[in-house]
Amino acid sequence: MAASEDIQVKELDKRASGQAFEVILGAPAPDSKGEFPLSPPKKKDVSLEEIQRKLDAAEERRKNHEAEVLKHLAEKREHEKEVLQKAMEENNNFSKMAEEKLNQKMEANKENRTAIMAAMNEKFKEKVSVSVDFKQINLHHFSTRMLELNIPFFPLFFFFFFFFFPNRTRSWRRCGRTKRPKIPPQKKALRKTESYKRGIV
């Protein structure tokens, strides 16, 4: 048997299925009554003022929480508004810059086109003036040469007229020609026959 000052263990019987013991506790000490009170402590009575104070504190916490939530939502909306405003400003600035670049490009193209047209007009005027001067020089030289050779003016006039107005002379020549009448195909076939050649028909 195992025993101690406060606990005693006594073996009752021993079987194949198990073993039984009896545990005997010692008597409690006289000083242990104050350490383990038998009855639970009484609850403190809560007054109406304390309950009301707790309710007011809970209401205040609820209001503070709602105010924080509303403040957070207001800050979030303000941030979204600022982001949207910034995006709109960037879009407007980009469109203005694109429009300015397009206008500058159009102005540059217009200036280049006007410069090219002016240069082409100058070249055309130079070519026309050179050709007119050349014709005048040739005409003057030819007329002086004809006067030196004592050639009459009338043939000279026709020569220059046909030289400077070739299209009109061609049209007049074309008008002066006589058109041949069209021969029908039956008459063409008749001409090929022997009787027509002999003069019988």
Residue 80 lies in a domain: yes
The pair of three-digit structure tokens given for residue 67, joined into one six-digit string:
């105010």
Q: What is the pTM of this model?
A: 0.32
Distance CA 32, CA 36 (A): 7
- How far is residue 46's CA from residue 41's CA, in Å, rounded to a whole number? 15
* Domain presence at residue 181: no
Tens place of pLDDT per residue across the chain (201 aa): 444 556 777 777 676 677 777 777 766 666 555 555 556 666 666 788 888 889 999 999 999 999 999 999 999 999 999 999 999 999 999 999 999 999 999 999 999 988 998 888 888 877 766 665 555 555 556 566 666 655 555 555 666 666 665 555 444 445 445 556 677 777 767 666 665 565 554
In angstroms, rounded to a whole number, what is the distance separating the alpha carbons of residues 7 and 24?
A: 6
Q: Is 38 domain-assigned? A: no
Which distant-in-sequence residues (6+ apart) come within 8 Å of 7 by Cβ?
Answer: 23, 24, 25, 26
In a domain, 45, yes or no: no
Give the SS3 label for residue 172: helix
Residue 201: inside a domain: no
C-alpha span between 59 and 55 (Å, rounded)? 6
Domain that holds residue 102: 52-158
Q: Is residue 93 part of a domain?
A: yes
**What total of structural domains would you count in the chain?**
1
